[in-house]
Amino acid sequence: MRESTQKTTRPDILSLIRSYYRNNLIDLTSIPGLNFRHFRFRLPNGYFYKVKRKIRDSSDFRESLIENEPLDVYYSTASWLNPHLITSKLDKDILKNVMLSCDLAFDIDVNEDIKTLEIARLQAVAINDFLDAKGIRVRYSAFSGSKGFHVVCDDPWSEEIAEEDPRKREMCAIEKRKEIVQEAKEMGILFDGKVTIDTRRIIRVPGTIHSKTGLICTLLSKNELESDIETIFKYVENNCPFAPGISQNLREMTAPSAYKISGFMGRLGVRPKPEPKLCYSTFFTNNIPETRLKIPVLEFGTWMKLEKVQSIIEEVQENYGLGDILLFGDRTRYWGVSLKAASQRRIEKILFASGSLNLNQCKKYGCTYTRVGKSIGVKGEVVDDEPTFIKTLKSDLRGQASRTHYEFFTSLGIRFREQDLDLCGAGKEKLELVHAIIE
């Protein structure tokens, strides 16, 4: 095993990734022959861990993710008779290295030749066209979550290579891939040929998180891949549980020597930022004035179906006695607002249990901020309307409730069920409202 140069990871990032994998089943239908694939995880300490058992379905996969808490998740492009036992080619135990087939995979990343993500996208389109012309069906194309794209096909030669000796069969597969790499290179298509040739290669699992950006490795249809990079980013952003928006650095990514990304794991290197697109809005905090208590506000991305959001909220609502929860939403977020008064530590437990996106914000600032007003651009235009009230999820509240937030929402015409609430804190006139600029 090889130790990464990055030895530590911020614990708040770990908790967000952990919550995502605990609360979501990763769709693995894009990876056929699942139980013949080798899986490898990059752990928080920088080491790569070989999964020591066969993964048979999404539930199996989630158990392994929860058990090992990886930062990044990969699978083998090749299928193996005993994927959980795979070793070096030099190992004399042949049963540990019986390759059944190998995907034809292309990796297109920003580098010295591919200067921008838009060029990387165009190369991914070119590879799709090249394969189509050769009669090779593309199984999937995907945005990696950071600096490039993957194009993956089923093994085009699985029926042709009849070599019985596993070592010779693997060498035949390598030679076939060298030929197609040479042919594509001669047509001027840019990609990492070493990835395509290597039968021992691992690539990122679609639907998993790229820890350096917080973005999900996202499957793209051919039409989506052929759209411009900004359209792809909008699609990826809607599927992203952590990042509030794709950074300008990533949008304008060039070769690493000239421009490095700034994202989920912190700033790795920058050049002067382009002019930001600014707007401002009004937010309320979850602090209860005249107390040291707060209310839980659960936040989810609209990439998640509303039914799923409601199911998560209802489970936490019951477990923690949150009482009635007001459900709001806009084009990018859902919010579940409870009146329950609790300590910050208790609030963090509730946010963690629900996989709420504002857990990191609560830990960093000691409170959460929830938008209530319109987002207004610098020219006075409305960038986003105020959040819409969707419904009330009813339940009995255990403990005290915030007088501040009760009076605030009541003043907006949102009524609570008739119940004998034990209210604490100041009235709505003391509610902390923050007018903030959004970049």
pLDDT at position 249: 63
- Residue 192's contacts (CB-CB under 8 Å, 6 or more residues apart) are 106, 107, 108, 109
Kindly tell me if the per-residue pLDDT of 68 is higher than 70: yes
pLDDT, one tens digit per residue, over 291-305 is 999 999 999 887 678
In whole angstroms, what is the distance from residue 57 CA to residue 26 CA? 9
Residues in the chain: 439
Q: How confident is the model at residue 274 (pLDDT cuts 50, 70, 90)?
A: very low
Q: What is the mean pLDDT of residues 324-347?
A: 93
pTM, two decimals, is: 0.57
Q: How confident is the model at residue 275 (pLDDT cuts 50, 70, 90)?
A: very low
Kindly tell me if the per-residue pLDDT of 256 is higher than 70: no
Q: Return the structure tokens found at 264.
A: 């989920």
Kindly tell me if the per-residue pLDDT of 156 is higher than 70: yes
What percent of the chain stands above pLDDT 90? 54
Q: How confident is the model at residue 7 (pLDDT cuts 50, 70, 90)?
A: very low
**Phi, psi dihedrals of residue 395, rounded to the nearest 5°:** -165, 165
Closest CA to 280 of 372, 366, 150, 206: 372
Q: What is the mean pLDDT of residues 341-352?
A: 94
pLDDT, one tens digit per residue, over 129-145 is 999 988 999 999 999 99
In whole angstroms, what is the distance from residue 87 CA to residue 166 CA? 13
In whole angstroms, what is the distance from residue 19 CA to residue 17 CA? 5
CATH topology of domain 11-225: DNA primase, PRIM domain (3.90.920)
Question: 324 to each of 344, 347, 428, how far by Cα in Å?
Answer: 20, 16, 19
pLDDT at position 257: 36
In whole angstroms, what is the distance from residue 106 CA to residue 115 CA? 17
pLDDT, one tens digit per residue, over 97-126 is 899 999 999 999 998 889 889 899 999 999
Closest CA to 47 of 9, 80, 89: 9
Kindly tell me if the per-residue pLDDT of 268 is higher than 60: no
Which of 135-149, 188-202, 407-421 has the least mean pLDDT? Answer: 407-421
Q: How confident is the model at residue 221 (pLDDT cuts 50, 70, 90)?
A: very high
132-163 burial code (b ≥16 CB/10 A, e <16): eeeebebeebbbbbbbbbbbbbebbbeeebee
Per domain, the residue ranges of the chain are 11-225, 280-438
pLDDT at position 74: 97
Kindly tell me if the per-residue pLDDT of 335 is higher than 60: yes
Q: Which helix (H) or strand (E) holds 139?
A: strand 138-143
**Phi, psi dihedrals of residue 334, rounded to the nearest 5°:** -115, 145
Which of 14-18, 22-26, 219-223 has the least mean pLDDT? Answer: 14-18
Which of 73-82, 119-128, 239-248, 419-428 has the least mean pLDDT? Answer: 239-248
CA count, 13 A, side-chain hemisphere, 166: 19
Which of 248-257, 264-273, 344-353 has the least mean pLDDT? Answer: 264-273
Contact present, 430 and 290 (Cβ < 8 Å): yes
Using only C-alpha atoms, what is the Rg of the chain?
25
In whole angstroms, what is the distance from residue 209 CA to residue 429 CA? 42
Which of 206-215, 275-284, 320-329 has the least mean pLDDT? Answer: 275-284
Q: How confident is the model at residue 265 (pLDDT cuts 50, 70, 90)?
A: very low
